[in-house]
Structure 1
Amino acid sequence: MKFRKKPVIIDAEQYKKYGRLVKGMCNSQSCFTLGNNEPHVHTIHNNQIVILEIGDWIIPEPDGEHFYPCKPNIFKDTYELVE
């Protein structure tokens, strides 16, 4: 059997500047910087903390409280802009 991924519309913001998290996308529990000022997102998967790099896209999980980063090349291949 073959399957096709259902089309879904997501919210996403690109992390563009070191040390600045996306306003309105992340709150203090889900996106933050640690003592070394590395930006992180708190993911739903095993309650992990993932380091963001400039250019990563931040995508909210369905629960709205956790996020995951997506590398720019994967984001470009997976999503298209909806206006």
Structure 2
Amino acid sequence: MKFRKKPVVVEAFCFKGADSEINAPDWFAQALQNEKAILDRALKDGHAHVYGCTIDTLEGKMHARIGDYIIRGVNGELYPCKPDTFRKTYEAVEVRGGMIN
């Protein structure tokens, strides 16, 4: 038997490191505040640099690297997705006259 995934609309954004703290959607900023997502930092040349993010998912802790997408699922759950998989699986949709990026 074969099955087709039901079409669902999710929210997502491309994780850009420290810039994500400033330009993140409200739901990701809230996840950072609630420690459901934590920015991974490393010391480089005496300065802390963000190189990724650890996310509490339904399957446990998962890591996103810069350039990965972070998706909020239909029940508000968060999970990371590699860019190539994201592009194969998702496309932007029009919602009430705007675009979801």
Aligned partner (choices 25, 44, 55) of residue 27 of structure 2: 25
- The structure with the larger Rg is 2
Q: Point out the more displaced range, 28-37 or 53-62.
A: 28-37
Q: Provide the TM-score with structure 2 as the length reference.
A: 0.64
Alignment partner, residue 64 of structure 2: 52
Q: What letter corresponds to residue 25 of structure 1 in structure 2?
A: W
Structure 2: tracts of 5 or more residues without a match: 43-49, 95-101
Alignment RMSD, CA only?
Answer: 2.0
Aligned counterparts of 2:3 and 2:63: Cα–Cα separation in 1 = 32
The count of corresponding residues between Structure 1 and Structure 2 is: 79
Structure that is richer in helix per residue: 2
Structure that is richer in strand per residue: 2
Identity %: 35
